[in-house]
Structure 1
């Protein structure tokens, strides 16, 4: 008995077209090249996670991806996630100078109300419309570490209050920051006694960031001078004086919005309190016309008379912060962009008096050192933070070759099936059109012994006629016995 398998195979025969084989070979070569390029563009890269400080530059570095059609490389385009800066976190700008603490974030709602956010969603947006509202200076001589007192008897902590804005795809976002500066912090090392400390600034460059270089010099110099003035005034108190021996104090400098010139005596209006060893020992409220100014307090010799140096320190902090935040179009003047102002504020640098510390990095006036520093300038700033990015990377050669070969074979098989089905469809259509004429040609030719339904020779099928033995087969068909 003949075995019949569960599986079967079709009976095939060559296509009767001379053009079929050349077209298949040439088309195969063309499609192999096309599919290889297409699969290389779509499958040769994989995304890996990478940290970046500049997401815009990271996204711009696409390698060869920009040479391929975008629909092939959509899934492997570089992309970076926005950074999240929570409230109370510290940050700095790309100028790497001062450090800031984020205190609040809000947006304007539809009705104009503030919509508070717990964090700032940030994607390297340019800082805009930054303004310093006030600068507070806290003086202290008691609650300081011994090594701090070794540098100077009094210390000063400047705290500036700032508001900025950024533009995002969802609209404007506002946020408040504080900046704290202390030239002799608790973390200072005592072996730096009498040396330039360089605290409060992350980096400095007198050629590429000359304005910030001079800003640090102004802040450290005025800080050293004003703390020594407090020390001298307390040491000059006599037994019969009615002045109290000061231990702590605070001076708040508030911006006067109506005066744009920073050199104006009324640029800052101020308020202050100084305290002695007892809670009822307070130095304040001189009875002068308000708003109080440093010039008016100095003219009246109000105790403790540190007002002009404290005012200069606040203006140095104000100017340095706006330079660090990149506020070139600020409505008020800036010491660090005006050569005349900077020359006047630094003219006594070489003779500045301070305790056991040295200011810097500049040790002389601007007029003496301007040939060795760069130009005074402000550049736009962004917050420096780390972004998580996905960037394309070329796959290993072995994996890439296998992936392209497999993809090419799949696509070539699909093209071959389409090509073959098209040829078969054309062939079957041609056979249907020629079949009636073949049947007509055999009408009346019964003596040929070929049934009318015999397939034509052009169809490629062979015909095997049944040969009957006249009598014997006839008897078998009628059921008779032999």
Structure 2
């Protein structure tokens, strides 16, 4: 029997541990180095965009958020000071920010405009006072329609943020006076806004022509005409639910002045006092421009609604039927309100009026609810609006 003793041994069961640990350590070191490099070794580039929602969309949805939090793009709010001008993504009218609650500027993050309301629409009439000679040469009377508007422009946290702004329409002066606007752009791919521009221009020139006819002095010179009025205005507010109604605007006032003779003609209308706007029309109150001015105010109201994207809120009457508050949102209404466009344009006294029709896109004719309404480009489709510039 041997005097030597041997301890009991057995083979090491994890013979691959060492190579796996070594190789795994190398791989993990390379992986963490790669992640560290791409999460820190980059340059931040500042760009300007009108679509922050697209920029901020999650482009790394297949990667855990904690790995991409430092490289996800983030857009800062646009700062719009009071007094600044802007337009919406529809690029129809231009607007000027006029008031906010307790802030000198609007902090805006591309949220859609909500609960917009044209609180007042005014039509201002001027002859030669404060008008440029070139404009007087085009039209003896100048007519500018303006509107005061309130909207909710939610901030990044979707908190209510009411703002006030103004817009103006005068196709003769929009290129020469800040804050006075014709249409910024007539987009052929958006026929609904082509009709919006057509309505405004037609009813604007109808109002100008009616004002000239009503105020021109008998036997006045054609070269330097004389008028019985110098200036004036009509203001409209509190719209009703039926735009066909001649008293659609339930509250307003007017004043016209003959400065050389120190005369003034003033009045108001208020449905609560049974003094209706339609009474001015039926009584042919001088100056009898009430029907054209009413159509111009309604057209302005309708264009503002679609330009600010306020077409998806269905307002109903007490018996549950949809309200008729816009000229532009149905084929039947647009067909009705464009019935006399050709005659209106033919009677216009505005010089070089055809130059106001941009690039031949607009036609002064009646909207055909059978052919135009079935156009595959869907002419009456309007979308929500955001502030874009």
TM-score normalized with structure 2 length: 0.79
Per-residue CA deviation, residues 254-313 of structure 1 (Å, 9 max, x unaligned), is: 224xx3111112211331111113363112339999554442112111111010000000
SS at match of 1:227: helix
Matches within 5 A, 1:119-130: 119-130=105-116
Matched, 1:200 2:188: no
User: What are the within-5 Å matches in structure 2 for residues 60-209 of structure 1?
Assistant: 60=57, 62=59, 65-106=60-101, 116-143=102-129, 144-168=131-155, 169=157, 171-185=159-173, 187=175, 200-207=182-189, 209=190
Within the candidate set 347, 351, 358, 2:343 is matched to: 351
- CA offset at residue 248 of structure 1? 0.4
Which structure carries more relative contact order (alpha carbon 8 Å, separation 6+)?
A: 1
What do residues 8-47 of structure 1 show as CA deviations (whole Å, max 9, x unaligned)?
xxxxxxxxx9878634542344335433543354245432
Change (3 A) 1:56 1:100: same
Alpha-carbon contact 1:46-1:76 (below 8 Å) kept: no
The separation in 2 between residues aligned to 1:342 and 1:68, in whole angstroms, is 51
User: Greater CA deviation, 38-47 or 119-128?
Assistant: 38-47
Q: Deviations over 1:68-120 (max 9, x none)?
A: 433233222211111111111111101111011111112xxxxxxxxx22111
Find the structure with the greater CA-based Rg.
1
Change (3 A) 1:263 1:95: same
Instruction: For structure 2, list consecutive stretches of 5 or more residues without a partner in the other structure.
Output: 1-13, 221-226, 316-322
In structure 2, the residue matched to 1:231 is: 212
Asked whether the 8 Å contact 1:91–1:101 carries over to 2, the reply is: yes
Q: Where in structure 1 do 4 or more consecutive aligned residues deviate above 6 Å?
A: 17-20, 286-289
5 Å-filtered alignment, 1:20-419, equals 22-23=19-20, 25-43=22-40, 45-60=42-57, 62=59, 65-106=60-101, 116-143=102-129, 144-168=131-155, 169=157, 171-185=159-173, 187=175, 200-207=182-189, 209-235=190-216, 237=218, 245-256=228-239, 259-268=240-249, 269-278=251-260, 280-285=262-267, 290=273, 292-328=275-311, 329=313, 331=315, 333-352=325-344, 353-354=347-348, 355-356=350-351, 357-358=353-354, 360=357, 361-367=362-368, 370=372, 374-385=378-389
How far apart in 2 are the matches of 1:79 and 1:288? 51
**1:176 deviation in Å?**
0.9
Does the C-alpha gap of structure 1 residues 26 and 140 become closer, same or farther in structure 2, counting only changes over 3 Å?
A: same
Residues 211 and 323, structure 1, Cα contact 8 Å, conserved in 2: no
Cα 1:335–1:30 change in 2 (3 A) is same
For the aligned residue pairs, the C-alpha RMSD in angstroms reads 2.9
* 1:386-428 CA distance string (max 9 Å, x none): xxxxxxxxxxxxxxxxxxxxxxxxxxxxxxxxxxxxxxxxxxx
Structure 1 stretches lacking a partner, 5+ long: 1-16, 107-115, 190-198, 386-482
Q: 1:316 to 1:288 in 2, by over 3 A?
A: closer
Alignment deviations for residues 132-184 of structure 1 (CA, whole Å, 9 cap, x no partner): 11110000011211111121111111110111113332721111111111111
Structure showing the higher helix proportion among its residues: 1
Cross-structure match for 1:3? none
